[in-house]
């Protein structure tokens, strides 16, 4: 019995290490980088917080296509393009402030849905090759985008706002800078320090969990098994530990108080998370998961697999448009012709760093991946400068890591597929041998 338990523990540990190899590696890289960078905690926390709120919706936009079995959606660059087109349209009509962002989003909605619909139809013709198709489609769409805004704007498409045009009157200038009251318009609406934000989030989460328990006891008259309410106890413990940490460490408290959190942006991210969670529990969500698990079985059950796949891509492209809009308003400008190029690559790398695969991805993995990936992005140039007296090495490393993590994730997926097939073949051979023995 003891040997059997050790064997099971060994198998479990091996699976844990293999399934989370990329995440564990990035945790080690981030810890080593933070030590080598020798930067104040307030700087690191502030930069991570800024990048998390800026990029998270773009990463969340990848989840639904993964559920649908289409892998990682490189074509979210089309959603990013739709947001940029929306900003160009709003700027052309001299709309500024929060109204500029609203007009941009309204313009981007039909565009992103159209692009998503066309992308989904293309993916239905290239089943099993969606990721490489999405990547090539992004390059193709960039060519059309450049043609329109580099050569047609001015001579063919009238531009009302002359500051958008190049001096020769042909093509849009780059970069396009947002007006002062437009830059960070969503972020400026409501902000609070990070220590307050974490405290209020934990208190709200604890209150919701307690309210649910009261409802179940008083209204539904359920018998509550208190030993099983680990989520409530964990939230209470986290709140207590957070308060103790802030009281015990002035460095941590200063870093949290030094960092401002854009509350409205956080609410938008929370709404996207709620929508994705709600979607997973609806009929559409169950159909998406069914198509992703086995398309042939889903079709035999009467599920319109092609329509479901198109819908999944449309949702992804729409969320990508919103995410790019949040990103640009935070930065305050964007390079007209290249701002969308690395959107898909960086978002996919961040999701994979969080432990996701091309078959499974969750909101928690998206958040963890965003934290780890952007921590590496912040510290690697500084660590490279301190370690080798050359910041450019850190730049090379983070670009290398971005593409390497995608390659490793795809290699692991291929390896797992081969190993699973071998296990299935071995089990089939064993069953055939048993049946032969019974027949003899």
pLDDT digits (tens, 9 = 90+) for 390-427: 767 767 777 776 677 777 767 766 676 666 666 556 65
Mean pLDDT of the chain: 85
Instruction: Name the more confident of 102 and 73.
Output: 102
pLDDT digits (tens, 9 = 90+) for 149-178: 998 988 888 888 888 898 888 889 988 998
Return the minimum-mean-pLDDT range out of 63-67, 283-287, 375-379, 402-406. 402-406
On the question of pLDDT at 201 being above 60, the answer is: yes
Number of domains present in the structure of the chain: 1
157: helix, coil or strand?
Answer: strand
On the question of pLDDT at 226 being above 80, the answer is: no
Return the minimum-mean-pLDDT range out of 26-35, 175-184, 382-391. 382-391
Question: Is residue 1 domain-resident?
Answer: no
Return the minimum-mean-pLDDT range out of 39-48, 81-90, 376-385. 376-385
Residues 288 and 312: their CA atoms lie apart, in Å, by 7
Question: Is residue 64 domain-resident?
Answer: yes
On the question of pLDDT at 13 being above 80, the answer is: no
Question: Is residue 87 domain-resident?
Answer: yes
Q: To which residue do tokens 């409530």 refer?
A: 232
Spell out the residues 6+ positions from residue 80 whose beta carbon is closer than 8 angstroms to its own: 58, 320, 321, 323, 324, 339, 340, 343
Residues 44 and 51: their CA atoms lie apart, in Å, by 11
**Residue 380: both structure tokens together:** 């690697």
Evaluate whether 82 touches 145 at the Cβ level (below 8 Å).
Answer: no
Q: To which residue do tokens 């660059």 refer?
A: 77
Q: What are phi and psi of 157, to 5 degrees?
A: -95, 115
Evaluate whether 70 touches 123 at the Cβ level (below 8 Å).
Answer: yes
Question: Is residue 156 domain-resident?
Answer: yes
Which among 109-113, 138-142, 223-227, 231-235 has the top mean pLDDT? Answer: 109-113
Spell out the residues 6+ positions from residue 247 whose beta carbon is closer than 8 angstroms to its own: 253
Q: What is the mean pLDDT of residues 21-30?
A: 80
Q: What is the mean pLDDT of residues 26-48?
A: 85
Helix axes 363-388, 391-439, angle to 10 degrees: 140
Helix (H) or strand (E) holding 279: helix 263-280
Residues 30 and 425: their CA atoms lie apart, in Å, by 40
Residues 429 and 281: their CA atoms lie apart, in Å, by 39
Instruction: Show the beta-strand stretches assigned E in 213-369.
Output: 260-262, 333-334
Q: What is the mean pLDDT of residues 339-364?
A: 85
pTM of whole model > 0.85?
yes
How many whole angstroms from its chain centre is CA 248? 34
pLDDT digits (tens, 9 = 90+) for 277-314: 999 889 998 999 999 888 888 888 888 989 999 999 99
Question: Is residue 243 domain-resident?
Answer: no
Cα-based distances in Å from 183 to 173, 219, 326, 410: 18, 48, 10, 38
Instruction: Name the more confident of 149 and 28.
Output: 149
On the question of pLDDT at 83 being above 60, the answer is: yes
What is the CA angle 240-242-247, rounded to 5? 95
Per-residue confidence (pLDDT) for residue 250, from 0 to 100: 87
Q: Report residue 267's pLDDT band, with 50, 70 and 90 as the boundaries.
A: very high
Return the minimum-mean-pLDDT range out of 125-129, 219-223, 277-281. 219-223
pLDDT digits (tens, 9 = 90+) for 97-123: 899 999 999 999 999 999 999 999 999
Q: With CA atoms as reference, report the closest residue to 276 among 327, 318, 213, 235.
A: 318
**Residue 257: both structure tokens together:** 């108080």
Q: What is the CATH number of the domain that holds 49?
A: 1.10.3470
Question: Is residue 422 domain-resident?
Answer: no
Per-residue confidence (pLDDT) for residue 26, from 0 to 100: 80
On the question of pLDDT at 17 being above 90, the answer is: no
* Beta bridge partner(s), residue 165: 172
φ/ψ region of 128 (left if φ > 0, alpha if ψ in -120 to 50, else beta) reads: left
Beta-carbon count within 10 A of 343 CB? 25
Residues 3 and 11: their CA atoms lie apart, in Å, by 12
Q: What is the mean pLDDT of residues 130-155?
A: 90
Question: Is residue 340 domain-resident?
Answer: yes
Q: Which domain holds residue 104?
A: 40-188+266-389
**Residue 191: both structure tokens together:** 């902000």
Instruction: Name the more confident of 425 and 69.
Output: 69
């Amino acid at each position: 019995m003891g040997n059997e338990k050790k064997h099971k523990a060994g198998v479990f540990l091996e699976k844990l290490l293999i399934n989370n190899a990329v995440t564990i590696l990035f945790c080690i890289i981030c810890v080593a980088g933070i030590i080598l960078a020798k930067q104040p905690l307030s700087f690191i926390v502030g930069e991570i917080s800024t990048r998390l709120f800026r990029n998270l919706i773009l990463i969340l936009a990848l989840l639904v296509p993964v559920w649908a079995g289409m892998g990682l959606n490189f074509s979210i660059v089309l959603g990013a393009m739709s947001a940029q087109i929306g900003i160009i349209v709003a700027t052309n009509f001299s709309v500024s402030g929060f109204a500029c962002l609203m007009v941009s989003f309204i313009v981007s909605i039909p565009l992103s849905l159209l692009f998503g619909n066309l992308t989904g139809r293309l993916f239905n013709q290239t089943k099993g090759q969606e990721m490489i198709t999405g990547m090539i489609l992004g390059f193709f769409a960039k060519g059309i985008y450049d043609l329109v805004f580099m050569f047609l704007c001015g001579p063919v498409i009238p531009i009302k706002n002359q500051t958008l045009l190049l001096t020769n009157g042909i093509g849009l200038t780059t970069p396009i800078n947002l007006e002062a009251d437009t830059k960070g318009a969503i972020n400026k609406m409501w902000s609070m320090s990070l220590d307050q934000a974490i405290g209020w989030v934990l208190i709200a989460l604890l209150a919701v969990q307690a309210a649910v328990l009261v409802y179940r006891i008083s209204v539904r008259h359920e018998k509550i098994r208190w030993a099983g309410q680990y989520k409530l106890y964990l939230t209470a413990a986290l709140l207590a530990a957070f308060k103790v940490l802030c009281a015990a460490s002035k460095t941590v408290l200063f870093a949290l108080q030094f960092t401002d959190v854009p509350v409205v942006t956080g609410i938008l991210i929370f709404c996207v998370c709620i929508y994705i969670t709600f979607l997973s529990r609806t009929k559409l969500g169950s159909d998406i998961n069914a198509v992703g698990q086995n398309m042939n079985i889903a079709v035999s059950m009467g599920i319109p697999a092609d329509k479901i796949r198109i819908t999944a891509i449309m949702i992804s492209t729409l969320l990508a448009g919103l995410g790019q809009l949040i990103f640009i308003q935070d930065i305050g400008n964007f390079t007209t012709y290249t701002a969308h190029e690395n959107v898909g690559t960086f978002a996919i790398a961040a999701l994979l760093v969080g432990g996701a695969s091309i078959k499974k991805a969750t909101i928690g993995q998206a958040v963890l991946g965003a934290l780890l990936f952007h921590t590496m992005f912040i510290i690697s140039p500084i660590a490279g400068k301190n370690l080798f007296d050359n910041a450019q090495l850190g730049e090379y490393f983070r670009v290398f890591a971005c593409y390497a993590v995608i390659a490793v994730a795809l290699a692991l997926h291929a390896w797992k597929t081969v190993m699973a097939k071998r296990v299935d073949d071995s089990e089939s051979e064993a069953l055939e041998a048993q049946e032969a023995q019974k027949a003899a």
